[in-house]
Amino acid sequence: MNVTELRVGLIGLGMMGRHHARVVREVEGLELVAVADAGGDPHGVGGDLPVVGDVHELIDVGIDAAVCAVPTGFHEEVGIALAEAGVPTLIEKPIAHSVEAGARLVDAFAANGVLGAVGHIERYNPALQSLRDRMAAGELGEMYQIATRRQGPFPARIADVGVVKDLATHDIDLTAWLAKSEYSTVSAQVTTRSGRPHEDMVAATGRLANGIITNHLVNWLSPMKERVTVVTGERGAFVADTVTADLTFYANGVVSTEWDSVAAFRGVAEGDVTRFAIPKREPLRVEHEKFRDAVLGVGNDVVTLQEGQNTLRTAEELLASAGQLTAAGEA
């Protein structure tokens, strides 16, 4: 593919910044030209590139696009500076630390006519991409429920938000995206067990505008890593494992019975199980390719700032239902 080469600047050189730097260098049509972090570059992410201290210095280098991987609390400040400079920007999820900050980001990019996207990377997982296509093709029939489990050890990269805004936003976004419907109601229970000021475990339920019910179990207190999405419908259930990018379909069996008391029960029988063979590309690489295409005006398959804002709003409603949201709108 021959594309115009875009000069990309990266701000934020922590865990996600390191991955972004690697992938930008691998994607055709992108050239990483400068990196920025107030703390310098202790991991050598920039290599031989200039390392500047803030977003304004990064802009002054001369860039066509930017990746914002700073801590969530700085998304608003950095994003607005890039919007006002006319720089298309991919902002790591969540869009911001609060709905109010997210709204200001949405407005800033819109007012300046600049492309902004949010890095909800699960949308680009091969298992979920295949699942969404199969759902759209009617392979599941009517959808009843989307349930997710996202559990694992505490990630050292997180300092300024709890498990809802850091991890559960993945599940909120992918659920609305799979179902093509936003949340209408949410309810949750949370607990704090790690000694940090933010919640680290949540059990949430909800209903989407189209009637699908949802269930999400999310924590960073489990010694086992689990990333599972189960979509149940009239023809069976899809199970997507986004750690291995595997997709399996459990079909409802059609088995006749002469046992009257069993035959009268409106349930299903065990049917065939199919594990699909699907191409498996790195989700972050696909995300950057889609962002590149959107910047060049040849595609629009990105998570928009408004979609990111909708996800953050749902996360805050979830926290509010659990009594974990302050008057300032921050958990």
Domains and CATH numbers, the chain: 6-120+284-302 (3.40.50.720), 123-281+314-321 (3.30.360.10)
What does the pLDDT look like over 128-175, one tens digit per residue?
Answer: 999 999 999 999 999 999 999 999 998 766 567 899 999 999 999 999
- Reply yes or no on whether the pLDDT at 312 is more than 80: yes
Partner residues linked to 52 by β-bridges: 36
Cβ-contact 11, 70 below 8 angstroms? yes
**Distance in angstroms (rounded) separating the CA atoms of residues 255 and 269:** 7
Cβ-contact 45, 13 below 8 angstroms? yes
Confidence band for 244, pLDDT divided at 50, 70 and 90: very high
Partner residues linked to 217 by β-bridges: 149, 203
DSSP at 10: E
Give residues with Cβ within 8 angstroms of 308, minimum separation 6: 91, 93, 94, 95, 102, 118, 120, 173
Confidence band for 326, pLDDT divided at 50, 70 and 90: very low
| The predicted structure's pLDDT at residue 276 | 97
**Distance in angstroms (rounded) separating the CA atoms of residues 107 and 237:** 40
End-to-end CA distance of the chain: 44
**CA of 319: how far to CAs of 118, 171, 187, 257, in Å?**
21, 15, 8, 47
Range 164-189 average pLDDT: 97
| The predicted structure's pLDDT at residue 330 | 46
Cβ-contact 54, 44 below 8 angstroms? no
**Distance in angstroms (rounded) separating the CA atoms of residues 72 and 116:** 16
Least confident of 56-70, 137-151, 252-266, 297-311: 252-266
pTM for the whole structure: 0.91
